[in-house]
């Protein structure tokens, strides 16, 4: 369709999609950041639970529960982690922050295995 036949209302709509995209980008980026931070918190909690279970298993068989729990943690979560207990092993780790401005959060888990549960 030649430009002279396009209605004036349609000509005024040129570029509105670009403006709308620029307007929605901050909200979209914030939603992605929040989702990724929640995933990082879930990863930290899952890792703490697995670590506590490994420590409790080591305690059941007479090993060093704290060393086993720390060894079971992924390397990025080991620094600053707190492990305690014998039989009841508790592990607390910091949640990885995607932005340095976010507050430091910690998650933790604890596990107690009954005697004999570690021997499969």
| 59 Cβ neighbours under 8 A, 6+ residues apart | 65, 86, 87, 89, 113
Contact 91, 78 (CB under 8 A): no
Sorted by where each begins, the domain ranges of the chain are: 11-112
Per-residue pLDDT of the chain (120 residues; tens, 9 = 90+): 555 676 666 556 666 777 777 888 999 999 999 999 999 999 999 999 999 999 988 888 888 889 999 999 999 999 889 998 766 899 999 999 998 888 999 999 998 876 655 544
Quickly count: other Cβ atoms within 10 Å of residue 114's Cβ. 9
Contact 57, 116 (CB under 8 A): no
pLDDT at residue 47, rounded to an integer: 96
């Amino acid at each position: 369709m030649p430009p002279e036949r396009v209605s004036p209302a349609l000509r005024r709509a040129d570029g509105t999609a670009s403006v709308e995209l620029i307007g929605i980008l901050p909200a979209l980026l914030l939603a992605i950041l929040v989702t990724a931070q929640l995933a990082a918190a879930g990863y930290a909690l899952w890792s703490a639970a697995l670590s506590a279970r490994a420590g409790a298993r080591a305690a059941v068989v007479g090993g060093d529960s704290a060393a086993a729990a720390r060894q079971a943690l992924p390397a990025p979560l080991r620094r600053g982690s707190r492990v305690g207990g014998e039989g009841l092993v508790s592990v607390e780790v910091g949640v990885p922050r995607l932005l340095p401005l976010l507050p430091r959060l910690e998650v933790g888990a604890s596990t107690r295995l009954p005697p004999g549960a570690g021997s499969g």
